[in-house]
């Protein structure tokens, strides 16, 4: 055994018999005004998260390392309630000091026995026991984030943590629930919303802060968590998450990430509730725009499906001058563009129009060099005879954009009467398609391959 004490404290030496010998044989603890030196007998190893020999740490830091390493036996020796620490040179740790940091560290690491020890009034002392509801129940937040369901249950148990000090799952807009939902810990979410475990007064509310827990889960694609949060039997009829909160922002997040199953759940009246189901046409169908931009064809199809999204709430591909088509065209998502302009998928009334805003979608695709998309936008059979993109819009600006970027194949397409149409083909002598000297060589090549009467490029 190696515990150094001053001569006048030798009378306390018999108390060491209650401490496991393997601990005392490995560690030397003594005071160093006011820091503590921990010396590991085996220099080449770390001992349960404690530092290597010779390092000096304040008492609180030593306690945190013990809690993180799960050493309930060491902490029991060092807490102020233990007679051993009354001797000069003890660590004098208090379980509730520094805003209950020891409990937070242990909860985050998932050490049930350490948490139980720190909250036990007989071990830690009634005056110094850790309080699970300290700092808005941040220990519960840490445990929920890491998915330690057993620790969460312990922190909320009034018999273990105390009726007055039990963790409150609804603290800070149920932030523990939000974090557990984001990471995808379904079992933890269920515990936090259970009135029998968390307490009727302190249970987490899934609709807190505009159902941000649902938003977090939807964004990460946790369909099972989303279903739990919207379930009235699990979350409670009054506190269930609402999929239509903040203009159906959860649907936007899921659509952007391409989570088809989550999108379907959020729009399902049987799962989300008729009153609270997400609406695909919210904010000018911004969920459709996000999905189109990222190229999620399956999600786009789902959002425009009247049977899934509802006839009244289906996304409209022609919203905001067919902005979804513009986003898809710019990114080069040919399949998405085709879907948005398909009257059978998007609906005859709500199909995207390639000629919106002077055929801006064509300009974006031409500038980015997406030849297939350009061809699609000008195809009367795909885009519709009335809504096909016009290559001569705004003085053939699409041609100017393609030429500036050096896309000779696209320039050829835009001026081809068979592709762009005789009436709508781009004109190389238009004001907005004038080129600098650097691009004259491109047009000299094009002029030899086209059969129209083009004036000299000025």
- Block residue for tokens 């309080």: 131
pLDDT of 63? 80
Residues 246-267 pLDDT 10s: 999 999 999 999 999 999 999 9
By C-alpha distance, which of 93, 77, 81 is closest to 34? 93
- Block residue for tokens 């004001």: 431
pLDDT of 449? 62
pLDDT of 59? 66
What does the block give as tokens for 335? 């399949």
pLDDT of 75? 81
Task: Name the H helices within 69-167.
Answer: 72-78, 97-109, 112-119, 121-124, 134-146, 149-155, 158-161
- Name residues whose C-beta falls within 8 Å of residue 357's C-beta, 6 or more positions apart in sequence: 321, 326
Q: To 10 degrees, the CA torsion angle through 413, 417, 420, 421?
A: 180
Residue 334 has pLDDT above 50, yes or no: yes
Average pLDDT over residues 222-238: 98
pLDDT of 43? 30
- CA distance linking residue 407 with residue 410, whole number of Å: 6
Residue 215 has pLDDT above 50, yes or no: yes
- CA distance linking residue 378 with residue 417, whole number of Å: 11
pLDDT band at 446 (very low <50, low <70, confident <90, very high): low
By C-alpha distance, which of 7, 172, 148, 131 is closest to 70? 148
Q: pLDDT above 70 covers what percent of the chain?
A: 78
Q: What are the extents of the domains in the chain?
A: 353-458
> What is the DSSP code string of 428-457?
TTSGGG---GGGHHHHHHHHHH--S-PPPP
Average pLDDT score, the chain: 84
Average pLDDT over residues 314-343: 97
By C-alpha distance, which of 89, 163, 86, 76 is closest to 122? 76
- Block residue for tokens 């890491």: 146
Other Cβ atoms closer than 10 A to 236 = 18
pLDDT of 125? 87
Residue 352 has pLDDT above 60, yes or no: yes
């Amino acid at each position: 055994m190696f515990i150094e004490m001053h001569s006048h404290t030798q009378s306390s030496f018999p108390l060491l018999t209650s401490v496991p010998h393997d601990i005392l044989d490995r560690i030397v603890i003594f005071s160093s005004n006011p820091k503590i030196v921990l010396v590991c007998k085996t220099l080449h190893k770390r001992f349960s998260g404690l530092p290597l020999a010779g390092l000096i740490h304040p008492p609180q830091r030593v306690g945190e390392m013990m809690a993180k390493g799960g050493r309930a036996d060491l902490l029991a020796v060092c807490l102020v309630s233990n007679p051993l620490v009354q001797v000069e040179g003890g660590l004098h740790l208090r379980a509730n000091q520094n805003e209950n940091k020891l409990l937070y560290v242990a909860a985050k690491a998932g050490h049930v026995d350490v948490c139980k020890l720190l909250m036990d009034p007989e071990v830690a002392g009634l005056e110094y026991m850790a309080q699970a509801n300290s700092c808005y129940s941040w220990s519960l937040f840490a445990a929920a984030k890491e998915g330690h369901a057993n620790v969460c249950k312990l922190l909320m148990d009034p018999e273990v943590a105390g009726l007055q000090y039990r963790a409150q799952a609804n603290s800070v807009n149920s932030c523990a629930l939000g974090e557990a939902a984001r990471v995808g810990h379904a079992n933890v979410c269920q515990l936090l919303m259970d009135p029998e475990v968390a307490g009727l007064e302190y249970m987490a509310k899934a609709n807190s802060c505009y159902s941000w827990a649902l938003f977090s889960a939807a964004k990460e694609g946790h369909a099972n968590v989303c279903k739990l949060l919207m379930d009235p039997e699990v979350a409670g009829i009054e506190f269930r998450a609402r999929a239509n909160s903040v203009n159906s922002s959860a649907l936007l997040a899921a659509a952007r990430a391409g989570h088809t199953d989550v999108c379907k759940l959020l729009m399902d009246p049987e799962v989300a509730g008729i009153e609270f189901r997400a609406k695909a046409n919210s904010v000018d169908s911004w969920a459709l725009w996000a999905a189109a931009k990222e190229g999620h064809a399956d999600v786009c199809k789902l959002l425009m499906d009247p049977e899934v999204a509802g006839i009244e709430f289906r996304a409209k591909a022609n919203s905001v001058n067919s902005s979804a088509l513009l986003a898809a065209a710019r990114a080069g998502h040919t399949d998405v563009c085709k879907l948005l302009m398909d009257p059978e998928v998007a609906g005859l009334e709500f199909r995207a129009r390639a000629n919106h805003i002077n055929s801006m979608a064509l300009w974006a695709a031409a500038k980015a060099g997406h030849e297939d998309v350009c061809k699609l936008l000008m195809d009367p059979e795909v885009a519709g005879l009335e809504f096909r993109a016009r290559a001569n819009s705004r003085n053939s600006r699409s041609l100017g954009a393609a030429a500036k970027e050096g896309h000779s194949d696209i320039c050829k397409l835009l001026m081809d009467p068979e592709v762009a149409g005789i009436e709508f083909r781009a004109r190389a002598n238009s004001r907005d398609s004038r080129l600098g000297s650097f691009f004259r060589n491109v047009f000299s090549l094009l002029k030899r391959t086209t059969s129209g009467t083009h004036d000299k490029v000025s």
